[in-house]
Amino acid sequence: MSDQTNTLPQRNRVQEEYRWRLEDIYSSDEAWEKDFQSVPERVQKIKALQGQLSKKSSILLQALQLQDDLGQLMESLFTYARMRRDEDNSNTTYQALTDRVTALGSEVNSTTSFLLPEILAIPDGTLQNFLQKEEGLELYRFALDDLRRQKPHVLSEKEEALLAQTGEVTGAASKIFTMLNNADLTFPVVKDSQGKEIQITHGRYGQLMESRDRDLRRHTFQALYKTYRGLENTISATLSTAVKRAVVMSRIRKYPSALESALFGDKVPLTVYDNLIKTVRQHLPTFYRYVEYRKKQLQVEELHMYDLYTPIVEGIDWQIPYEEAVTMVQEGLKPLGNDYGRILEEAFQNRWIDVYENRGKTSGAYSWGPYGTHPYVLLNYQDKLSDVFTLAHEMGHALHSYYSYQKQPYVYAHYSIFVAEVASTVNESLLIHYLLKKEKDKTKKRYLLNHYLEQFRGTVYRQTMFAEFEKLIHNKVESGEALTPENLKGSYKQLNQDYYGPNMIIDEEIDVEWARIPHFYNNFYVYKYATGFAAATALTKQILEEGDSAVQRYLEFLAGGSSQYPLDLLKIAGVNMESTEPIKESLQLFEQLLKELESLT
């Protein structure tokens, strides 16, 4: 499976042991259909309570319980359909199932949209009386308090119903980009130094950019971005539409800005976002030093953007089969204790993971899965060290979900994205510490240090640059400026110049990199990678230095779901992200690792 070939295998040619077992969600499409058909009746049970929520505490409790039951069902329906589609985006059966459940979700949201405004219309005194009188409502106290916090941003019942009906339409930009990027877009064939033709794919791009063959890297880089440049007008239109949606929705809901709207749900102060950008910019000189070091080690007169991913340590062709990667991850995560290790083993043995790339499969990697079922992981494994870290990363997400699902009721089972990247990055940090500690070979140790520094570059510096780009383009729309290919490219080029510094050639092709970043369709998401990395760096240090006490705090954090606000959950684990200290500490670690790498050269 790991060999590069000109064409990818069809889905049914991938060995079963390397395919996830979605039958754990639904045993068949027919079972899915049966649940799908039951939704309207469930919706009507909720609808029948409209206008009565303030009358009796028992009615309010019934409405909340029915909402949870329906939410859990819709989650199972949607994740099954979407994950089946992700196996092969050209499969029309699962395109149809995804479309049907998406449309049904819009109908459900529209029909049940009365719940939020009606709950918020309950007088404070009445609600407090309900909470004291109805024992079952105590479970929902935090959720109800959070709803009350949202009161200034909730519309009337009729307005909420109208807005809910637009859900499928307003989310179209993301869907269009996904289909264009994963199903319709094809990349050219390039030749390596032996003249072998290689078809560029999303999954292979990273592998090709790590090649020691500089001409292959350059040709791959140019070919990929030429493809996106040919669609820059279309993709700038989809991105512009996504940004306008965020801006319009923030105004409709009376937020000062789209950014503050995005931060509100997590109760994250604006200063957290701004301090991240400010603190990273203050530490850019250290990053410039790393860029200069890379240039010297590669012995090139000019360092180009296509030189960023190739290892600077020569003589290493570290091919790591999937089974070996599994062992490395299990060993690296032993500091998290026996219970964590037991769940990992279950995941690896019971087909929670979809391992290899196949034709039409969604690119990249993720962890997902509905409440009531174990989480899943999608990979596109290519036998590289980076793939081992991706495995550790996604298993961090998966076990975060597992602990939350096990310990929390449905209403609090889904953790905020703000904390999502903490668990994944703790796993990566523990893995790199394990590998560095056990590695005696100087060359491999330098290779690992380079890899870890690259993790910093990609997760802290690059994602912060993305976050600044997002803030910039949303500000442009909020001030009435159009997002054209020209100003998108101009803004993106300037940020690359600022972040990479004087020792990097900012190739023309990189101006259009924004056109291939799916995260920009989930506005103000990427900053959480950087804050998550900073929090994870602090937690990893505590776990390794303190042992069991830190592990227990960390597992309590993993089991917290959304039962508290993200910043409060992180304080339980032992990190205060309202301070700039975790960010500074992670950037100081970057400098320490760079010094260690320089000393081994």
CATH 2.40.10.340 matches 24-170: no
118 part of the active site: no
Pairing type for strands 197-199 and 189-191 reads antiparallel
Q: Which residue has the tokens 């309202």?
A: 578
Q: What predicted TM-score, i.e. pTM, was given to this entire model?
A: 0.82
Tokens of 407: 């310990």
Q: Please compute the mean of the pLDDT values over residues 309-325 and round it to a whole number.
A: 88
323: nearest Cα among 7, 15, 11: 15
Query: pLDDT-derived band of residue 343, with 50, 70 and 90 as boundaries?
Result: very high
In what order do the strands lie in the sheet containing 366-368?
Answer: 353-354, 376-378, 366-368
Query: pLDDT-derived band of residue 161, with 50, 70 and 90 as boundaries?
Result: confident
Whether the pLDDT of residue 336 is over 60: the answer is yes
Q: What is the pLDDT of residues 69-105, one digit of tens each?
A: 999 999 999 999 999 999 999 999 999 999 999 999 9
336: nearest Cα among 571, 556, 535, 552: 552
Q: Report the distance separating Cα 153 and Cα 166, nearest Å.
A: 18
- Exactly one of 157, 160, 357, 394 is catalytic; name it: 394
Q: What is the pLDDT of residues 174-195, one digit of tens each?
A: 999 999 998 899 999 999 888 8
Q: How many CB atoms lie within 10 A of CB 44?
A: 10
Whether the pLDDT of residue 3 is over 90: the answer is no
Q: How many CB atoms lie within 10 A of CB 297?
A: 17
Q: Please compute the mean of the pLDDT values over residues 326-345 and round it to a whole number.
A: 98
Query: pLDDT-derived band of residue 5, with 50, 70 and 90 as boundaries?
Result: very low
Q: What is the pLDDT of residues 421-474, one digit of tens each?
A: 899 999 999 999 999 999 988 888 998 998 899 889 999 999 999 999 999 999
Whether the pLDDT of residue 139 is over 60: the answer is yes
Whether the pLDDT of residue 257 is over 50: the answer is yes
Least confident of 120-134, 365-379, 445-459, 472-486: 445-459
Query: pLDDT-derived band of residue 331, with 50, 70 and 90 as boundaries?
Result: very high
CA distances from 380 to 203, 207, 241 (A): 6, 11, 30
**pLDDT number for residue 154:** 84
187: nearest Cα among 382, 363, 386, 366: 363
Domains of the chain, residue spans: 24-170
**pLDDT number for residue 315:** 67
